[in-house]
C-alpha cells in the first residue's frame, strides 16, 4: 500500500522512516482512510512495545504520508524462518512483551486484528536482544471511530484468525488473544495450530476443529524440551472457539504466560540481529520482498512532500520538519541469506506465505457434522515453511455456506459443470477422454429435474467461461475455486462424487497423473481431505501384496482391514477413497521397477512423518503381509530391506 523511505528530521538530525501512500492508490478515499487509520491507531498509543508514530499528514499535491521511528532489527517472522522454533525461555520473553503492548492498545479501544510474526519487530535495547515493537495497525478496529467498511467485512491472516473474526462477529481484545496464542503455538512448535496450504480450509478449521495440543507435538519430536503442562493448558484456553472461554483480556493472558517457569537453555540461540538488520518497520530487505507483496524500502530520495496539514505528533515535530530531507541517509542492509541447514535433532521450517485478507462478507463455513477430523500432529511437525507475505484481497475467497444459511444443503450445479469440465481437461488425449455428450450425461445424474438441453446449456456456459482464460493452469484454478461451492454436500454424496471422478478417469485406462492430482485437490476442497501417510501405507501394502498383473479383490480387502486398524476412526467410505488413491498411484506406473522406486520414495518421505514406534509398526505389518503365504521370497526380502532402510527401521 505504501513505499517507505529513510529520511531525517530538520534541526534534530534524527533518522526516521517515512511511509508514503502509493500515488496510484491516493485517489481512492477508502484506501487513503485505511492508510491514515494505521497512523491514527498507532499514534494514540505510547508504549515501549509499539512502534512510535511521529507525524502524519497530506501534501498540497495530495500525497499522504506518516513518519515513524526508524528501527534496527528484523521481523519475528524472519527469525522463525531461520531457527524454526524457539525455546520457551526466549518465546516467553517475546510473548509477554507483545501481550503488554496489545493490552495497552486494548485499554485505548484499539484491537489490532492482524497479529502475526510478520507484524512484530525485534530490536536490541541494551542487553535485550529481543525487544518487541508491534507494527502495522492498518486494519485495527478503533473504538468510537467511524467504520471504514460495511458491516460483515472480514479482515485478517488465515493462520491467525479467531472464529468470530472469520464469521464477521463481534471483535474485541479476545480476538487478539486468540491470534497471539496462534503465534505462540508457531513459535514453540514450528507450525501453526491449523497448518494447511489452503487459506479457506484453514478458516474452516479455526471455526470447527479443536486445536491440537502443542505439548504433544513437542514431546513427539523433542521429549526433553522445556514445555510445561501449564503452558499447554494456557495456549489451549486462549485458542478456545468461544471468546468467553478464553482469557478475559490480553493483560491476564500475558500474566499467565509470564507466571509459567522457563528453563534457560544451555548454549546461546541465534543472536545476530545487529549484523542481519533491516532498517524500517515492517519492511523486508530481501530481494523477494516486492514479489511477496511487502512494502518496499527505497534507497533513493523520497518524493517532495510539502504538507498543508498534519496531526500533532507524539514528539511534537512538524510534518515539514520530519520529511523535508530529500536524500537517503542510511543504506538498507544486504539481503538476508537463506537459512542454514537445520541443526541436529530439529528442522528449521520455512514459513508459508499468508495474505492479510480483506473480504466483503464473511466466508461461509460448512456445518459442524462436516468438521474435519483432527490431523495427526506428527503429519505436520516436520513441514518446512516459507516467509509470510502480506497482501490485500479485493473479494472474498469462495468457501462453503455455514449451517442454517440458504442453500446450505443444495448441490451447486454450475460448479459441478466446472468440475466435470476440469476433469475432462486432464483426460484430453487419453483413452479415457470425456466427450461433451458423456459429460452432460454424468452431470444430468446430479440434476434429475433438468432436461437434457438445460444441462447441456449449463455445461456450455461453463466451458465458454473456461476457454477465455489464457492458460491451462488458469483454467484449473478457476475450476478449483468453483469446487468450494460443493463442500456443502452431505458427506455420502461427496464420497459418491469423488468415486465417480475416479470411475470416469479410469474407465478405459489407469488414472493418469494429472487426473489423479486433480481428484486429490477436489477431495481436499470438498472436505474429504485424506491423510497422505495413510495413502503411503496403502501403497506400500499393495507393492508387497501384488503378485500378478492386476490387483485382485482379496488384496484390496486385506488392505481395507489394515487401514481400519491404522485409522480406527476412519469411516469406510474414506477408507475406500484412500484405496482408490493408492491403486491409482500404483497402476499409473507401467512396470514393477517403477512402482518399487515410487515405494522407496514415499518410504523416505514417510520416515520423517511418523515416530519410531509407528514406523516399526508399519514394517511389522508389511512383513506380516509378505509372510502370509508361509514364506518370504527373494523379491519380497529385497523390497522389505529397501523399505526398512528408508523408514529407518532395522
Pick from 404, 371, 395: nearest CA to 206? 371
Distance (Å, rounded) from C-alpha 92 to C-alpha 77?
16
Does the active-site annotation cover 114? yes
**Residues in CB range of 623: below 8 A, 6 or more apart:** 632, 640
Grid coordinates given for 175: 480476538
Distance (Å, rounded) from C-alpha 226 to C-alpha 259?
15
Helices (H), 162-271: 163-166, 173-189, 199-208, 214-221, 229-238, 250-258
Strands 2-8, 297-298: pairing is parallel
CB 55 within 8 A of CB 27: no
Distance (Å, rounded) from C-alpha 459 to C-alpha 439?
8
Grid coordinates given for 382: 516436520
Letter string b/e over residues 603-638, b meaning 16 or more CB atoms within 10 A of that residue's CB:
beebbebbeeebbbbbbebbbebbeeeeebeeebee
The one catalytic residue in 114, 118, 130, 176 is 114
**Residues in CB range of 630: below 8 A, 6 or more apart:** none
CB 270 within 8 A of CB 79: yes
**Residues in CB range of 590: below 8 A, 6 or more apart:** none
SS3 content of the chain, % helix, strand, coil (to 5): 45, 10, 45
Question: Helix, strand, or coil here: 314?
Answer: coil
* Separation of CA 106 from chain center: 27
- Would you name the residues annotated as active-site residues? 114
Amino acid at each position: 500500500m505504501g513505499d517507505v523511505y529513510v529520511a531525517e528530521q530538520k534541526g534534530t538530525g534524527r533518522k526516521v522512516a517515512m511511509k508514503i501512500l502509493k500515488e496510484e492508490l491516493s485517489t481512492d478515499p477508502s484506501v487513503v482512510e485505511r492508510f491514515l487509520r494505521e497512523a491514527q491507531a498507532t499514534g494514540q498509543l505510547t508504549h515501549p512495545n509499539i512502534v512510535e508514530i511521529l507525524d502524519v499528514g497530506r501534501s498540497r499535491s495530495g500525497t499522504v504520508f506518516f513518519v515513524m521511528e526508524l528501527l534496527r532489527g528484523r521481523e519475528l517472522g524472519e527469525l522463525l524462518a531461520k531457527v524454526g522454533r524457539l525455546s520457551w525461555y526466549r518465546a516467553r520473553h517475546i510473548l509477554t512483551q507483545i501481550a503488554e503492548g496489545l493490552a495497552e492498545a486494548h485499554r485505548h479501544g484499539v484491537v489490532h486484528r492482524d497479529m502475526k510474526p510478520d507484524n512484530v519487530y525485534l530490536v536490541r535495547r541494551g542487553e535485550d536482544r529481543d525487544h518487541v515493537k508491534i507494527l502495522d495497525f492498518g486494519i485495527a478496529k478503533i473504538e468510537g471511530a467511524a467504520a471504514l467498511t460495511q458491516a460483515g467485512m472480514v479482515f485478517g491472516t488465515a493462520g491467525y484468525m479467531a472464529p468470530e473474526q472469520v464469521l464477521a462477529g463481534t471483535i474485541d481484545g479476545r480476538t487478539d488473544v486468540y491470534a497471539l496464542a496462534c503465534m505462540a503455538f508457531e513459535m514453540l512448535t514450528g507450525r501453526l495450530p491449523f497448518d494447511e496450504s489452503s487459506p479457506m480450509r484453514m478458516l474452516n478449521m479455526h471455526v470447527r476443529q479443536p486445536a491440537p495440543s502443542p505439548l504433544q507435538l513437542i514431546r513427539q519430536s523433542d521429549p526433553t524440551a522445556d514445555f510445561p503442562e501449564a503452558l499447554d493448558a494456557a495456549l489451549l484456553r486462549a485458542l478456545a472457539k468461544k471468546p468467553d472461554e478464553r482469557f478475559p483480556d490480553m493483560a491476564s493472558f500475558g500474566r499467565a504466560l509470564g507466571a509459567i517457569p522457563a528453563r534457560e537453555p544451555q548454549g546461546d540461540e541465534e543472536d545476530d540481529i545487529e549484523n542481519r538488520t533491516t532498517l524500517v518497520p515492517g519492511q523486508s530487505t530481501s530481494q523477494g520482498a516486492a514479489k511477496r507483496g511487502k512494502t518496499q524500502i527505497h534507497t533513493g530520495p523520497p518524493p517532495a512532500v510539502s504538507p498543508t496539514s498534519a496531526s500533532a505528533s507524539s514528539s511534537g515535530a512538524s510534518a515539514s520538519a520530519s520529511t523535508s530531507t530529500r536524500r537517503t541517509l542510511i543504506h538498507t542492509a544486504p539481503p538476508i541469506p537463506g537459512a542454514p541447514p537445520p541443526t541436529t535433532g530439529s528442522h528449521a521450517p520455512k514459513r508459508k506465505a499468508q495474505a492479510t485478507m480483506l473480504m466483503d462478507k464473511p466466508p461461509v463455513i460448512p456445518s459442524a457434522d462436516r468438521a474435519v477430523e483432527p490431523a495427526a500432529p506428527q503429519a505436520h511437525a516436520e513441514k518446512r515453511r516459507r516467509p509470510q507475505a502480506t497482501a490485500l484481497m479485493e473479494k472474498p475467497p469462495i468457501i462453503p455456506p455455514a449451517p442454517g444459511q440458504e442453500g446450505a444443503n443444495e448441490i451447486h450445479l454450475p460448479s459441478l459443470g466446472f468440475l466435470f469440465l476440469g476433469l475432462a481437461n486432464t483426460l484430453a488425449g487419453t483413452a479415457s477422454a470425456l466427450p461433451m455428450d458423456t459429460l452432460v450425461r454424468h452431470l444430468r445424474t446430479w440434476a434429475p429435474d433438468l432436461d437434457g438441453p438445460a444441462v447441456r446449456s449449463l455445461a456450455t456456459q461453463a466451458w465458454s467461461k473456461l476457454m477465455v482464460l489464457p492458460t491451462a493452469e488458469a483454467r484449473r484454478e478457476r475450476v478449483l475455486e468453483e469446487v468450494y461451492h460443493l463442500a456443502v454436500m452431505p458427506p455420502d454424496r461427496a464420497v459418491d462424487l469423488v468415486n465417480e471422478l475416479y470411475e470416469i478417469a479410469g474407465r478405459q485406462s489407469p488414472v493418469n497423473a494429472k487426473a489423479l492430482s486433480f481428484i486429490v485437490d477436489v477431495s481436499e476442497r470438498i472436505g474429504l481431505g485424506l491423510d497422505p501417510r495413510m495413502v503411503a501405507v496403502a501403497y506400500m501394502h499393495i507393492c508387497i501384496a501384488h503378485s500378478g498383473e492386476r490387483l485382485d479383490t482379496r488384496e484390496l480387502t486385506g488392505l481395507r482391514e489394515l487401514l481400519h486398524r491404522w485409522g480406527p476412526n476412519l469411516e469406510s467410505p474414506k477408507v475406500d477413497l484412500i484405496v482408490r488413491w493408492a491403486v491409482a498411484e500404483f497402476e499409473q506406473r507401467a512396470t514393477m521397477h517403477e512402482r518399487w522406486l515410487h515405494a522407496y520414495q514415499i518410504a523416505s518421505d514417510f520416515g520423517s512423518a511418523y515416530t519410531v514406534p509407528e514406523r516399526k509398526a508399519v514394517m511389522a505389518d508389511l512383513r506380516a503381509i509378505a509372510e502370509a503365504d508361509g514364506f518370504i521370497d527373494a523379491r519380497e526380502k529385497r523390497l522389505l530391506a529397501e523399505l526398512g532402510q528408508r523408514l529407518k527401521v532395522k
